[in-house]
Each structure stands twice: as structure tokens, then as C-alpha cells.
Chain A
Amino acid sequence: MTVELVEIRKYYGTKRVLDGISEKIESGEFFVILGPSGEGKSTLLKVMAGIERPDSGKMIVDGQDITYQPPERRNVAMVFQNYALYPNMSVRDNIAFPLKMRRTPKKEIEENVERVAALLGIGEILDKRVTVISGGQQQRVALARAIVRNPSYYLLDEPLSNLDARMRTVARGELKRIQKELRGTFIYVTHDQKEAMSLADRVAVLHAGKFEQVGKPKELYDYPRTKWVAEFIGDFPMNFLPGKVLGEEGVEVGFRPEWAAVNEGRMECVVESVEAVGDSRYLLCDHEGHRLTLVSRNNYDVGDKIKFEVNDFRKFKDGVLMD
């Protein structure tokens, strides 16, 4: 189902947490809301779930205004960051709970629980208590409970952040596969830009209560609308140099590490530290007082003077991308 937000605002006292959020999320889309901690991502998700009421604005799902519907009357599923499994119930009862609350016939409940348990590979642990299973299994149970019925849209609040790094990569792939299989509208909140880039059909970057930019991951990476997005997205922030390197005043030149070639050209910098990622070496270096990140296949030592050339770049004026 399509989910439409219209000018959603939410204040805590005088603090503006959400300051006019508008976006239309398409049916079957994997939509990721990305932003640093404390920027109101979870608040936005709670507004979408109906747990919190917005101070103004509307939420429209499939043409219906549900802004003031409480969560129990919305057809929504949610996975919380801490999974929020019911500790007094078995895995089976946890997954069955949303169906029980909707008075689904017993036989149907059983079939559905078995089906999602098989889909997520947790058929073996259905009769265990949720307190004795591993963190990865708990995450699957929470996901199973969300997909056991057919909600209009799914909300996921950093569901992978409690997993260790390797498990997270596996779970990420699984999540994407399940979303495609269900053709569900997934709205996913994270602070991890890598996660956002690999999962999303579209990413919305939340900053200062607004969507600073919404677009495909590639768009956000290649054409960040503001300097803030440029620095937040990417494993390494975008490099910035004053416009006078191009002979232009009042602008800034931004480029990604891989848009510059090392050992060519006439610009020079001094290597300050080296970080190896796979078979690439990311060189943090100093160019006339500006910190830059460059990337090369070759290894360099700290203190080496290297030449580089910027092949591709974007121009920013007052922190905003110029056309």
C-alpha cells in the first residue's frame, strides 16, 4: 500500500523534532530513513505506527487518512530495535499473537506460524521460550511476528543493530529477499548509511527534523544535495576544497575519494594515516591545511608526499549542490 506523509510536525516542548515531513512512499517500496542518532527517526516511525500523535500534518495510507487512528486499529506491523518479544510466551505464541488479537481461526494461525517459521528458518525453536534463544534468533522471531499477517505497511526500527557485524550482513540479505517476496511496503529506520545504501530502493536523509534529501542510493552518493548529506553518506565523507583551485570564488569543490587519481597530476598532499579496506588503501592526507581522503591500490607510508588529480567533482555554494 502507498504511504503518504503530509507536512508531519512534532514538537517536544519547544524542541522541534519533526519539522514538516512530506513524502509519498510507493507500494512495495523498500524505503529507508537514514539519519544520525537523536534526529527523531524513531519518533517519525512512532508517528507512522500511531503510537505518537503528530502535532500537525496528515498520514494517508492507500487513500485513507489514518493520522489519528491508534495503532491497534491500523493494519501495521512493526519490529522494534530491542525486538520487544513477549518474555512470558513461547516463540510460537509470540508469532501467533497478532493473529490471535485479530480473532483468526485456530487452524489458520497454525498454518501461518508454520509458514513464516519455515521462511525464516526458525521452525526448530517454535516451542522454546524467547528468553533462551540467541540474539539472531530473537531478531528472526520479531521479524516473523511482523510478517505473519498481511499488513498495509511494515515499520522497522534499526532491527539489525543488536546483531554482530557478520550476522548483520546475512540478515540484511535475508530481509531484502523477504521484502521482495512479500512485495511489502517496508519503512526502515537506521543510522548506518551502509545498511541504507545496500537495502533501500530509496533513502531519505533525516536532518534537523526534515528530509534533507530523498533519492536512490546511487543518487545520494553521486549527487548529494547538500554538503551535510555529502559528508554523512559514504564510508568516507566527501572531500571539500575551496573553489579557488578551479579559479572560482565563493564555491566549494567536493569529490569522492575514488573520483581522484593518485600519482598523477600536479596537486600534492602529505599522507597522515593509511586505512586498508579490502585491497584498497584509503589515504588520509593533508593538502594545504585541508584534510582529504584518497584511495589507491598501492601502499604508502605516513609522511609520504603524493601527487593527485581530481577527475570528477561537484560544486557546492553555501553548502548546497549547484546544478
Chain B
Amino acid sequence: MKWSYLGAAFVVVYFLFPLYILVLLAFNSPRYTLFAKFPSLLPIQLTLNNLESALQGSSFVDPFVRSLETATLVGVITLALAVPAGYGLSRLPRSIAYPVLTLLLVTNMMPAIVVGIPIAVEFVKLHIFETVQGLSLAQTLVTLPLATFILQGTFSSIPRDLENQARVDGADLLHRLSSVLIPLTGPGMAAAFLISWMFSWDEFTYAILLLPYHSTLPVTIYTDVTRGNLLAGVAFSLVFTLPVIVLTFALQKYLKGEYLSGGIKG
């Protein structure tokens, strides 16, 4: 029993250590970290100067806003397409729906870099190259199959008789979806949105191919780190993790299934 705690402790340290280094770099004076021959693993001289200087100016704010825009747009487009797709698939016989779902996931097996270049060419023609909208469309390519998969499961878990009841009560397809079915898919929609948002938030390949000049935060961090602006990269990375944490906590209450349980007995 005691040994299992030791194992857990090891795993925790293993995963949190890089994060610790990141925090250390961000708040320790660079004299003891980046510029030291033997960097200290303990906080020695804490300072906010690193963050202050890095986060000032447009070199941070613009990519940050673009990342937010892209991720949110990806989440919205994904939901708008995955809700009808998931509903449709949940109402098809399994012998048809399952092969379709499998095929959807196959699109994700292709490396983004292979798909990205032809997309870039096409986007130049369509005049959406180097735009947030274009990048969002490309990233939706990856999130849509996952979200469709999740929502198909959510719609399938809603008892069929509930929809039948709505039909008997006189609701056409649009009313059934808007009044009865979609309000019950809250948890599934939250999960699908969260996954899409987080995927887009740290997506790199499409971002660098389709939005190369004024890019999103991951690409900016990459260029900062590779071009010697290490401290900025560190500061950005730290800020980069915050929205993910905030969003996860904000949507957490929808990730519980209490919505679906009541009122319907097997």
C-alpha cells in the first residue's frame, strides 16, 4: 500500500516538474536561471520584472487575442456542425452510423502537415489565407470528428420515447431539437466545446502554415524561444496555460450528468 503512494508521488513529480521549471524561470531573476552556469532549482530572488517586460506591448497581446478568437471560433463552428451531425447519426441504424463514425475518425490519421499545404494553396485562392477564419476552418477538420462522436453518444443516450413524445405533442424536427433534445445535451456540448477549444488553443502545424506572419500564441512562443527571446517565451507559456484552467473549471458543472437522470425511468 505504501509503495503505491510512492508510485503516485513519482508520477505527480514527473508531470509537474516541467511546470515547476517554467514557474521558476518566470519568477526567478534570470541571473540564477538562464544566465547561470549551474541553474538553481530553488527560488532565490523572486521578481515580477520578467513578466512585466515580456507582457508589455503588442508582441504578446495580439497573438493572445488571435489565439482566443481562433479557439472560440473553432469551438463554435464545431458545435454548429457536430450537433446536427451527431443527431443524424444517432438516429441512423448502427450498421450505417458506426462505419460513418469510423470513417470520420480516419481523417484524423492523416498528418496535418500533409493536409495543411494543399489547404494553404486553396486558401490563397479563396482569399482566406492569413486569416483567423481560415485557420479556424482548417482546425475544425480535426475537432469535428471528435465532437460528432461525442454528441452522437449524447443524443443516443436520450431515451427515444422522449422524442416520440415530443412528436406526438406536435413538435416538428426543429422544435424537437431546440426545445427538448439540445437542452438535454448540455454535458455533451460542454465536452465537445472544451475539446475543440483546447485542441485549437495549442494547435501548431495549421497555425504556422495558414497564419504564418501574424500568428497565434503557440507559434509566437516558438519564434521567441528559437530566436533567443527566451524570457518572453517563458512568460507567454505561463499565461498560455491560464485560459485552459479557467475554461475547464467554468464548464465543469456541465460535465456532470444530473440533467439526464430525472424524469425518465427505464
Contact = CB atoms under 8 A, between A and B. Distances in A.
B175 A49 contact: no
B167 A72 contact: yes
Interface string A62-79: 000000001110101110
Given A130-B263, A162-B265, A84 B171 contact: no
Contacts of A70: 167
B170 A102 contact: yes
Contacts of B159: 82, 84
A177 B266 CA distance: 28
Nearest to A51: B164
Interface residues of B, number: 25
Contacts of A49: 164, 168
B164 A84 contact: yes
B164 A88 contact: no
Interface string B168-189: 1111100100011001100000
Contacts, number: 84
A138 interface: yes
Contact of B263 (A76, A86, A101): A86
B262 interface: yes
Nearest to B264: A82
Interface in A78-94: 78, 80-88
Contacts of B183: 88
Contacts of B266: 82
Contact of A88 (B167, B259, B261): B259
Given A71-B164, A87-B184, A131 B263 contact: yes
A140 interface: no
Given A87-B259, A138-B263, A98 B162 contact: no
A315 interface: no
Classify chain A: how many residues form its interface, as a range.
Answer: 20 to 34
A77 B168 contact: yes
B263 A85 contact: yes
Contacts of A155: 168
A167 B180 CA distance: 29
A84 B165 contact: yes
A80 B261 contact: no
A101 B259 contact: no
Contacts of B162: 84, 86
Most A-side CB within 10 Å, residue of B166, B167, B263, B264? B263
A104 B172 CA distance: 16
Contacts of A71: 164, 167-168
Contacts of A76: 168
Contacts of A77: 168-169
B171 A80 contact: no
A129 B175 CA distance: 21
**From B169, B184, B259, B260, residue with most partner A Cβ within 10 Å:** B169
Contacts of A72: 167-168, 170-172
Given A72-B172, A82-B161, A97-B179, A87 B264 contact: yes
B44 to A, nearest CB: 56
A242 to B, nearest CB: 45
B113 to A, nearest CB: 44
A82 B263 CA distance: 8
Contacts of A145: 169
Contacts of B164: 46, 49, 51, 71, 78, 80, 84
A190 B184 CA distance: 30
Given A71-B164, A87-B184, A132 B262 contact: yes
A88 B175 contact: no
A174 to B, nearest CB: 20
Contacts of A132: 262
A130 to B, nearest CB: 5
Contacts of A88: 180, 183-184, 259
Given A101-B171, A145-B169, 17 more contacts: A72-B170, A72-B171, A74-B168, A78-B164, A78-B168, A80-B164, A80-B165, A82-B264, A83-B263, A84-B161, A86-B180, A87-B184, A88-B184, A98-B170, A131-B262, A138-B263, A162-B265
20 contacts: A50-B168, A71-B164, A72-B171, A74-B168, A78-B165, A80-B161, A82-B161, A84-B162, A85-B263, A85-B264, A86-B180, A87-B184, A88-B184, A97-B179, A98-B170, A101-B169, A101-B171, A102-B170, A145-B169, A162-B265
Interface of B: 159, 161-162, 164-172, 175, 179-180, 183-184, 259-266
Closest 8 CB pairs of A and B: A131-B262, A101-B170, A84-B165, A87-B263, A98-B169, A88-B183, A71-B167, A85-B263
